[in-house]
Amino acid sequence: GAVVSQHPSRVICKSGTSVKIECRSLDFQATTMFWYRQFPKKSLMLMATSNEGSKATYEQGVEKDKFLINHASLTLSTLTVTSAHPEDSSFYICSARARTTGYQETQYFGPGTRLLVL
C-alpha cells in the first residue's frame, strides 16, 4: 500500500520558537494533503487542506499565520508552527490523497508527530 512519512516523529521545543514538520508521500504523488491535530483519546481535527502549488485552505478557527503550510511538490507538504506556545503541544498527523481517477478515494496517513512545547 501507499506510504506516507512524517518527520520528525517527536519534537520538544522552547516556547517562542518555530517548528517545521514534514509530510512526504513516498511511493505516489499527492495533489492534496491534509493536516490534522489530535489530543489524547480524542478525534482528529482537520486544520487545513494543502494543495500542490496553491495556498492552503484553513478550517474555521485555525490561525493561518501561526500554522504555515507549504505544498511545494507532489510528494511534500510542510507544516510550520510559528512562535510555538505550550497550548500548541499536540499530536499532528498528515494524510495524503492519492492522485487517482475513478472512485477509489483513499487517504493515506502519516505516523504523526508529537510536539511538546516547554
Give φ, ψ of 78 to 5 degrees: -125, 145
Give yes or no for residue 34 binding other proteins (CB under 8 A).
Answer: yes
- CA–CA dist 100, 85 (Å, integer): 38
CB of 83 to other proteins, least distance (A): 26
Question: Considering the rule CB under 8 A, would residue 16 count as an interface residue with other proteins?
Answer: no
Q: Does 62 bind other proteins (CB under 8 A)?
A: no
Select from 11-19, 40-48, 61-69, 76-84 the region that touches other proteins (CB under 8 A).
Answer: 40-48
Q: Is 32:49 a contact under the CB 8 Å cutoff?
A: yes
Q: Which of 11, 20, 89, 91 is in the footprint of other proteins by CB under 8 A?
A: 91
Residues in touch with other proteins (CB under 8 A): 32, 34, 38, 41-44, 46, 49, 91, 93, 95, 97, 101-103, 105-109, 111-112
